[in-house]
Amino acid sequence: MSEPRLIKLSKVGDYDGSSTVLAIPRNDLVQIAGGRVYTATAPAVGSVVPADFFGIFSEESPKLVGVAFSSENPRSVARVLDPSGRVREEMNLSREYQYVLMHAQDRLGLSTFESSPAQVPTTELFLEVNELSERDHMQWALAHPPQYVHTRLRLQRRVAFGENLTAPPFLPNFTWVAADNFLLSTDPADGPIPIGHLSQFPRRFGTLVSIRYSNSNNDGKVTTVDLATRRYFDLQTGLEDGRWSRTFYLAHTDMLSLSATVFPAGGPEIVCDIELMRVEPGDRLRGRYTVPEVLPAPLGHNL
């Protein structure tokens, strides 16, 4: 890893979150403290730190970047942007240094809310930048395994969700809605839905599930159905409109049955939101083993 370089940017007003690059020529950076600290005044226009950090580094090299700010307004954020401008990572700015990896040609986008109303008229942004060697990059990668996120799905229709436990499996056709980050299906069919069609995890994983009905008649129900025998169990009944169900577990061969009527009748579309999270086999079995036995409450004295 190279020697770190500190860049301190002072700015009057906010970084507006635009895609405009901060135009700070290399010669406008003032070097102090032995040449490893640079200071500059950020221009009024621009909110993106370029990939070469104003000519100090190569834009093609991976970098470990520490970011600190003069305020702790939770609305002020920094975003790691890929070469096409998509957000790779976002963090709330604070006075403490937070470190992110920036890959080749990544840039740092800024959005702050300090000057309106005028709370912190002049802000200071601190960037501590290290160029990574191949060894440094590999060590960072090994220390940051993949992170698994939940899946959000939405079933939306104008007819009720009807319970039909003996019908052929229902395989909704989903479309990705990028603006809302969920999968949407408007298929009106009924029947038990294979959890593997929803989760799409490898078969060795189970799934934690929670659902919510919107525009229902407070009569929502969720049922688990066995794929082979079609035996079923009502996991939760009488779900209130707009309220998430309890979280429940489904194995990779289970099916999910939904039931709810529309309110008001003939009114707006009814929606069922489904959230899923994969479960490692060991975690599921360990959870069963470690959950303490629930003992009945002691009987009270007869008075």
C-alpha 189, offset from chain centre: 30
> What pLDDT, on a 0 to 100 scale, did the predictor assign at position 56?
94
The domain ranges of the chain are 5-142, 151-289
Give the containing element (helix H, strand E) for 287: helix 281-290
**Average pLDDT rounded to a whole number, residues 278-298:** 67
- On average, the pLDDT of the chain sits at 89
> What pLDDT, on a 0 to 100 scale, did the predictor assign at position 292?
57
**Average pLDDT rounded to a whole number, residues 54-62:** 94
Cβ atoms 96, 84 nearer than 8 A: no
For the stretch 166-181, pLDDT in tens is: 999 999 999 999 888 8
Q: Looking at the domain 5-142, which fold is it?
A: Jelly Rolls (2.60.120)
**Residue 53 reports pLDDT greater than 90:** yes
**Average pLDDT rounded to a whole number, residues 183-210:** 92
For the stretch 212-222, pLDDT in tens is: 999 999 999 99
User: Which range has the worst mean pLDDT, 11-20, 43-52, 118-127?
Assistant: 118-127
**Residue 296 reports pLDDT greater than 80:** no
**Average pLDDT rounded to a whole number, residues 57-79:** 94
For the stretch 215-257, pLDDT in tens is: 999 999 999 999 999 999 999 999 999 999 999 999 989 999 9
Hey, do 5-142 and 151-289 end up sharing a CATH topology, with the first three levels equal?
yes
**Residue 11 reports pLDDT greater than 50:** yes
Of the pLDDT bands very low, low, confident and very high (cuts 50, 70, 90), residue 283 is confident
For the stretch 125-165, pLDDT in tens is: 999 999 998 898 888 888 888 877 789 999 999 999 999 99
Q: How far apart are CA 58 and CA 131, in angstroms?
A: 9
**Residue 1 reports pLDDT greater than 70:** no
> What pLDDT, on a 0 to 100 scale, did the predictor assign at position 301?
41
**Residue 191 reports pLDDT greater than 80:** yes
Spatial CB neighbours of 230, under 8 Å, sequence gap ≥ 6 = 165, 166, 192
Q: How far apart are CA 111 and CA 70, in angstroms?
A: 14
For the chain, give the percent of residues with pLDDT over 70. 92
Q: Which residue has the higher pLDDT, 282 or 185?
A: 185
Q: Looking at the domain 151-289, which fold is it?
A: Jelly Rolls (2.60.120)
> What pLDDT, on a 0 to 100 scale, did the predictor assign at position 162?
94
CA 20 vs CA 31, 98, 216, 240, 269: distances in Å: 25, 24, 46, 47, 41
> What pLDDT, on a 0 to 100 scale, did the predictor assign at position 51?
96
Q: How far apart are CA 210 and CA 273, in angstroms?
A: 8
For the stretch 111-127, pLDDT in tens is: 998 876 556 678 999 99
Q: Edge to edge, what strands does the sheet with 77-81 contain?
A: 48-49, 107-111, 77-81, 87-92
> What pLDDT, on a 0 to 100 scale, did the predictor assign at position 119?
62
Cβ atoms 14, 39 nearer than 8 A: no
